[in-house]
Amino acid sequence: MTEFIVRVLHVLGRFFGKLSLLINKRNHYFYNEFINSYASMLLKQDIKSFGKHTKICRHVKISNPQFLSVGDYSFIADYVIIDSQIYRNFSTNEHLEKEAELIIGDNCRIGEYSHLTCSNKIVIGDGLLTGRFVLITDNTHGYTDGRECDKAPIDRDIVTKGPVVIGNNVWLADKVSVMPGVTIGDGAIVAANAVVTKDVPPYALVAGIPAKVIKIMKY
């Protein structure tokens, strides 16, 4: 039923988009606004917590939306993938399962083609700005001690080093990767193509692979 409604809205959006072009020759602005608003409305029913005036574009893919919380006035651009799952931990002999928790704060902007993958916990503070193709992950495929080297990566256990925490007013430039167990402090800037493997102090500018502090912008 939901898929049928989305198709109907898509057809209506195309119609109004073409009508908009004929009337005022705007570049599909009306069409995009129409479809994105209704896509957000449909997703709102499944997401754990959905803030006011938040918009999720129509080409965003979300698995297990019941684990996702999004604050007010946030925007998630097209082709973002948000992947939350039940985490299986085999670090002990016990088989532990727990639900993932992915929290996006207020006034955040997630850029196109970014990927957020959560099996433990990712907490993003208010005011995050990301470029395109950004990866934020709290997990990896398999252990690095050799126990699973004979398995295909897709068949290995999902392993996490701990939650990812991103503070307020952080800027992640294009193609940044934030790895498991990392905390990024308030006001930090991560330069393009950096791979963050260790904690970043507040108000630090970091760059490189692995990311290193270039300077502290504010004390």
d(CA 133, CA 55): 19
d(CA 80, CA 58): 10
Apex CA 12: angle with CA 56 and CA 47, to 5°? 25
Please return the burial class of 156, using the count of CB atoms within 10 Å of its CB with bins 0-12, 13-18 and 19+: middle
Number of other CB atoms surrounding residue 11 within 10 Å: 10
53 among known catalytic residues: no
Exactly one of 10, 59, 115, 141 is catalytic; name it. Answer: 141
d(CA 26, CA 95): 56
Rounded-to-5 percentages of helix, strand, coil across the chain:
20, 30, 50
Residues annotated as catalytic are 141
